[in-house]
Structure 1
Amino acid sequence: MPAETPSMAVEMVSPPAKKMSLNPKFLTAALIILGIALLTYKFGPWLVPAVVNGKPVTRFEMWARMEKSYGAQTLDDLVNEKVLDYAIASSGVKVDPAKVEEQMKSLESQFESVGGLDEALVQRGLTRAELEKQVSTQLGVEEILKDKVTSTDEELQAEFAKNADTLYKDKKFEDVKEEVALSLKDAKLRDAFLKWFAEVKESAKVKNFEL
């Protein structure tokens, strides 16, 4: 009997090769699990912000709860912002960056005695850039509605008389005229804005889909 060569020996003891067949569903599930594992390894704290007794609280769960609780209001706020931005841009009003900077400096001065503007922004969950955007928007609205917020001297006198026993008690009209004018301007601006924005939003093409 001829001696077996190494290749013959391997052939005799090795089982015949079988063609491997993978179930597509199994392969898909495996890839998903692998993907989640890799993402969790790389972005662990981002995907799983907390673990309770070994069970993860995923960010997807958190988002779902937040959307259920605040989704409608948040969506409405975002829609209003978009409508307002479009209305200001369409009006042709250009807000001077210098005026925005002036307002920011005024706010910094107002908050200086209570920890500073940056601290106040942190407490309100806002960034300086977001505040600057709000200031710019407010200035744009004021420019659009400026003809609706002017007051005559008679209106200022009437406003002073209405609050003479409360806000302006023991004060003379001439001494608080600027304060009265600012207060009346704010009230008129608020009323004019609500009416104007209602008209703007009604004419806007807004499509809301179910959350």
Structure 2
Amino acid sequence: MKSMRNNNRGLTPQSTPTKIPLSQRRLKTKPALTLLGILLLGNIFWFVLWLLPSGEKDSSNEPVATIDGDKITRQQWLSEMESRYGKETLQDLVNEAVMEKASEKYDINVSKEEIELEIALMHSAQDTTDTSMENLTKEQLHQKIRAQLILEKVLAKDIVIKDKQTAAYYKENKSLYNIPTSYRTSIIMLKSKNDAENVQKELKSGSEFSVLAREHSLDTASASLGGDIGYVTADQDGVDRSISSAVQKLKKGEVSGPVSLSDGRYALLQVLEVNKGQEFTYEEVQGHIARELAMEQLPSTIAPEVFWSEFKAKWYYGEAQ
């Protein structure tokens, strides 16, 4: 099923994977997996705040939609949002606040460089179908990562990892820290070159790439996202070589001409963002490696909620968890 889906998106089947050490798999995937469950909640929270009335006028009965004359009021809408997402969003906010308290009590510092390292590693490990990172603003993403790093540092503070362990790990997995330039890419996949040229004319006449992707792209998975297929690198497995080659020639915001794919179809590509490649030295990632190795000695289910009682956290849904 996976290879069939990839071929439908202009991707080539993956080669047989080599056996990867547990620590290496965790290092590449853990930051993205940890944040995946909370990315959407952060956006929902800020969206609800934006909807709340800023003036003195009571707008709770203001209609936000009408159906055959029947109104749906702002209060009904917000109440429904709260019932569906309120608990998770509030829990996320409490966790962030608790982690800030923990950083003060245990004298935990998180530098900008540490956050940027995590973001770079997340981009390098991100699957092309995973666009969850783009659901947050830069500030929101930084705050999520900061809270996660505080949690990990507090949990790992009493675990001793020797320098020879981190040095050996870096030597064995140095390629993880040599991150290639990545291109956040959108695609419109079409049956023929003629179809691609016709869509290209619509783009030149002023039509939005994302709109045309939803209307015309044969790749239904990315079409629903306005064509967004996430980050693509030059030698990325599972990506049609024509795509990875074409994006390297584009600047941010540029759109390619028709690109011939290995399966006979054609694609138009747009580069939304370019993240320049980075190579991290051992000194730059030693702390990261030590923390990751320490975390592997702890249960994977540990979450910020374990600190709620310590910092007397109470919330709308009950006492500290």
Normalising by structure 2, report the TM-score: 0.35
Instruction: Pick the structure with greater CA Rg.
Output: 1
More helix by share: 1
TM-score, normalised via structure 1 length? 0.50
Which structure has greater strand proportion?
2
Q: Which has the higher contact order (CA 8 A, sep 6+)?
A: 2
